[in-house]
Structure 1
């Protein structure tokens, strides 16, 4: 049985860099739903739940191992780093994947999607609907495969020399995709950890942020894996992802209440809810070799009718992208529907 009842889905070792005075006792937060700024909230009550991962001691120990490695590397990086080592990059990627999979917001999205499926299929599928706890434990089971999926990503650290501090949230590991939005694929498709053009973001502190990116689609000019920026606009655009992605709370260390309110007001209209969508199509004829399906509302279908159900996650599109994230000339990528390699000749701007 797990030894810790109160399990954090965003660990205190991560939030520490954003706490008041770096003491890991109190943290300033802004609640999106109520528009309320709360200074000095206790850290121990943030992003946690009783047996959030269940009571599997082996799973708990595996999570603590990843967190421990992150705590060691992050402390060194935040205190001042001149280069990004291979070990630090591996640890950051492992923590980013873990954090992406395990938050309450991620579990709610999975549970909502399974509920939509169960509702569409009918009462006989009720037992397949996931609870939030079921969803997070299922995600943890997929961690190793998810980590391997990201091993070809590039990584850099953005060192913030601007007057705008980085902020974080209760769902800090950002998965986004500039290429996906540029191609307008977001209108009908979603993307995931193995998609072309993936971008991952994780703030490490007010002055440091980790960027993972598809090296076949983008290029970032760095020195030993470090990019220095004094551009307030670039930092604001990176912070916008936290606002778009967070479940309920943003966390700040020194950013003032008014600056957070202004940033939230600017991004609020681009927040997406619900974060999942289901398309239901029923059989509508055919010619013998092919079957045709027609999209309908699932309540319009007949019981046990031949149908196709498609679910997808909906991602929020930011207002713009940081200036340092540039298109890579002549990148190669795989197009599933054509099962062929295509050469992309996008230049520095879309």
Structure 2
């Protein structure tokens, strides 16, 4: 008897359906509100089954889609408990690991991530270097192309769990929204921010890397709750003992919603509590800021060891634009010892004992060129 062929979903979601249902219209689990940011089109209902997904985005063989489905089924109860029961995973438990793993994958699986890689690939041959005189080498292009392939997507997503240990020391709490402005999400809902590097005006590389000092992750869970993961050597959120931090400052909530606009590619999403007027107000505010995820390539001259006077070294830096709105949130403050942290060189920007550096949105390659 012939083996029944496995049915592969045609629409493969990059924002999981279970997660979209947390924001469904009247909690119906079937539709969600949508605003197209590039066309200013507001719709109170679109089908979750066909939204925030692309045709065979993770391939036609089903291997990656099946792997993601398992990850989602393991993660869904953890995130549902957060807003339904105000329950967070126990630190360093299996669920804590799963929570962080889901966050990393949610970021890496997004089409924006692969669009950035594509744009790096296209820009690299036309990037000039005053140091080496002429265009940069094309040596990195095959690697960028490989990461965009189905095989590359599978490899990068499956290796995401290697990044989790670097995040285990970060603190995490729930923000409880007590205002009239409901939380919203977007087609790229995980917000990576860094008030610490923003305040220091640190311009070397993008501030969106999982190993950086001052890292902040914000993920709305439904209209009333948001997961906040942050570097507790730099910030404090609420008081030391509370795990649920209530915010009743509308300006703070509006800023968090504004970040969804600036981190999105094409759409923001919401439930029945969000009005068209509120969305249009946020859209207008977003026009004052630069959007995240615009890629850049820079070339820096770096020092070479003494005795190598005939050599010139350059570093090729590939990164993306950051979210930068001078974020200020109620009950989220810098701790006093953060002001003593020194930043002089690249290595200073990373947290202690971080294994993976520059693994997400910034890539450093160093080349040494012999002078003529």
* TM-score, normalising length: structure 1: 0.82
Segments of structure 1 that go 5 or more residues without pairing to the other structure are: 294-305, 342-350
From the superposition, tell whether residues 90 and 233 of structure 1 become closer, same or farther in structure 2 (CA, over 3 Å): farther
Q: Return the offset for 1:136.
A: 3.9
SS in 1 for 2:238: coil
Match of 2:11 in 1: 6
1:99-121, Cα deviation, whole Å (9 max, x unpaired)? 11111112212222233224444
Match of 2:89 in 1: 85
Among candidates 253, 256, 265, match of residue 247 of structure 1: 265
SS in 2 for 1:279: strand
Distance 1:144 1:52 in 2: 21
SS in 1 for 2:120: helix
Q: Return the offset for 1:38.
A: 1.6
Among candidates 225, 243, 247, match of residue 225 of structure 1: 243
Distance 1:245 1:226 in 2: 25
Segments of structure 2 that go 5 or more residues without pairing to the other structure are: 1-5, 128-135, 350-372
* TM-score, normalising length: structure 2: 0.78
Match of 1:189 in 2: 205
Match of 1:62 in 2: 67
Q: Return the offset for 1:307.
A: 6.2
Match of 1:111 in 2: 118
From the superposition, tell whether residues 101 and 124 of structure 1 become closer, same or farther in structure 2 (CA, over 3 Å): closer
1:37-66, Cα deviation, whole Å (9 max, x unpaired)? 122111122111222222465533332222
SS in 2 for 1:235: helix
> 2:112 touches 2:293 (CA, 8 Å); kept in 1?
no
1:121-132 to structure 2, matched below 5 A, reads: 121=136, 127-130=142-145, 132=148
Aligned pair count reads 327
From the superposition, tell whether residues 111 and 139 of structure 1 become closer, same or farther in structure 2 (CA, over 3 Å): farther
Q: Return the offset for 1:9.
A: 0.6
1:225-304 to structure 2, matched below 5 A, reads: 225-253=243-271, 254-272=273-291, 275-280=294-299, 289-290=308-309
Distance 2:316 2:18 in 1: 41
Q: Return the offset for 1:270.
A: 1.0
Distance 1:35 1:340 in 2: 42
Match of 1:345 in 2: none
Q: Return the offset for 1:338.
A: 8.6
Among candidates 314, 322, 325, match of residue 329 of structure 2: 322
SS in 2 for 1:261: helix
Match of 1:312 in 2: 319
Q: Return the offset for 1:311.
A: 1.4
Match of 1:52 in 2: 57
Distance 1:136 1:162 in 2: 40
From the superposition, tell whether residues 333 and 53 of structure 1 become closer, same or farther in structure 2 (CA, over 3 Å): farther
